[in-house]
Structure 1
Amino acid sequence: MNPRERRAARHLPPSPETGTDPRPRRRTAPITVDQVVETALDVIAGEGYEALTMRRLAGALDTGPASLYAHVVNKADLDELLIGRLCAGLDLPESDPAAWREQIRGVCGQLRDQYLKYPGVSRAALAMAPTDRETLRVSEGMLAILLAGGVAPQAAAWAVDALLLYVAAYCLERSIAHRRSADDDTEWVVDREELLRRFAALPAETFPHTTRHAAELTAGEGHDRFDFTLGLMVDGLARR
Structure 2
Amino acid sequence: MSPTPQERRAARHQAGPDKPAVRRGPSGGRKKPITVDAIVSTAFAIIEAEGYEALTMRRLAVALETGPSSLYAHVVNKEDLDELLIGRLCAEIELPEPDPSRWREQLVGVCTRLRDQYLRYPGISRAALAAAPSNLDTLRVSEGLLAIVLAGGVEPQVAAWAVDSLTLYVNAHTLEVSVANSRLRRADDGWVVSRDDMLRRFAALPETFPHTRRYAAQLTAGTTADRFHFTINLMIDGLPRTGQAT
Bucket of the pairwise TM-score, normalised by the shorter protein:
over 0.9
Residue 138 of structure 1: aligned partner:
141
Deviates more, 1:180-189 or 1:133-142: 180-189
1:176 aligns with 2:179: yes
| C-alpha deviation, 1:191, in angstroms | 1.6
Instruction: After superposition, give the CA deviation of every residue in 1:121-180 in whole Å (9 maximum; x if it has no partner).
Output: 001000111111100000000111011110100001111111010000000011111112
- State the TM-score, normalizing by the size of structure 2: 0.90
Residue 202 of structure 1: aligned partner:
205
AA of the residue aligned to 1:206: T
User: Does the Cα contact within 8 Å between 2:122 and 2:178 map onto a contact in 1?
Assistant: yes
Which of 123, 127, 134 aligns to 1:124? It is 127
Instruction: After superposition, give the CA deviation of every residue in 1:104-136 in whole Å (9 maximum; x if it has no partner).
Output: 000000000000000000010001111111000
Cα distance change, pair 72–148 in 1 and its aligned pair in 2 (3 A): same
AA of the residue aligned to 1:102: E
Cα distance change, pair 146–23 in 1 and its aligned pair in 2 (3 A): same
**What is the root-mean-square deviation in Å for CA atoms of aligned residues?**
2.0
User: Does the Cα contact within 8 Å between 1:87 and 1:138 map onto a contact in 2?
Assistant: yes
- Which runs of structure 2 are paired with 1:12-31 in the superposition (5 Å)? 12-14=14-16, 17=19, 27-28=28-29, 29-31=32-34
Q: Secondary structure at the match of 2:238?
A: helix
Aligned residue-pair number: 238
Residue 85 of structure 1: aligned partner:
88
CA distance in 2, matches of 1:16, 1:73: 14
CA distance in 1, matches of 2:23, 2:107: 48
Cα distance change, pair 151–193 in 1 and its aligned pair in 2 (3 A): same
User: Does the Cα contact within 8 Å between 2:93 and 2:114 map onto a contact in 1?
Assistant: yes
User: Does the Cα contact within 8 Å between 1:80 and 1:124 map onto a contact in 2?
Assistant: yes
- State the TM-score, normalizing by the size of structure 1: 0.92
Which of 104, 107, 113 aligns to 2:107? It is 104
Q: Secondary structure at the match of 2:99?
A: coil
| C-alpha deviation, 1:26, in angstroms | 5.7
AA of the residue aligned to 2:231: T
CA distance in 1, matches of 2:18, 2:179: 42
AA of the residue aligned to 1:145: I
Q: Secondary structure at the match of 2:154?
A: coil
Which of 70, 73, 76 aligns to 2:73? It is 70
Residue 189 of structure 1: aligned partner:
192
| C-alpha deviation, 1:65, in angstroms | 1.0
Which of 185, 202, 215 aligns to 1:213? It is 215
1:50 aligns with 2:64: no
1:59 aligns with 2:78: no
CA distance in 2, matches of 1:103, 1:15: 33
CA distance in 2, matches of 1:228, 1:141: 22
Cα distance change, pair 208–228 in 1 and its aligned pair in 2 (3 A): same
Cα distance change, pair 193–15 in 1 and its aligned pair in 2 (3 A): closer
Which of 216, 225, 228 aligns to 2:227? It is 225
CA distance in 2, matches of 1:236, 1:89: 29
User: Does the Cα contact within 8 Å between 1:170 and 1:226 map onto a contact in 2?
Assistant: yes
